[in-house]
Amino acid sequence: MYGVIINDQEQEEMEYLLKREMEEIIFDLGDHRIDPEIKSAMGNRYEVLFQLFRRFASQEECLQYMPKKKKQN
């Protein structure tokens, strides 16, 4: 386990970067031209980013970016 000490400005920047990256992934996941395998990798990346985001963001913000449940076949 690693620890990081950051100030308020750095925290805000981290939140901003994570939000931007997650929003970009959400947008790309809606593109029908992207291969399903690529979308799967993007979904995995989103989950990792969301786990990081949870450490910085409020509960209300986390609810906005909570990943959708995967469909089981």
pLDDT at 72 > cutoff 80: no
Rounded distance, CA 22 to CA 70, Å? 17
Q: List b or e across 24-55, with b for residues whose CB sees 16 or more CB atoms inside 10 angstroms.
A: ebeeeeeeeeeeeeebeebeeebeebbeebee
Q: What is the pLDDT of residues 24-59, one digit of tens each?
A: 999 999 999 999 999 999 999 999 999 999 988 899
Does 53 reside within a domain?
yes
38 Cβ neighbours under 8 A, 6+ residues apart? none
Q: How confident is the model at residue 68 (pLDDT cuts 50, 70, 90)?
A: confident
63 Cβ neighbours under 8 A, 6+ residues apart? none
Look up residue 34 and give its DSSP letter.
Answer: S
pLDDT at 71 > cutoff 90: no
Query: What domain range is 40 assigned to?
Result: 8-65
- Domains identified in the chain, total number: 1
Q: What is the pLDDT of residue 70?
A: 64
Does 72 reside within a domain?
no
Does 56 reside within a domain?
yes
Average pLDDT over residues 18-24: 96
Does 1 reside within a domain?
no
Does 15 reside within a domain?
yes
Does 46 reside within a domain?
yes
Does 42 reside within a domain?
yes
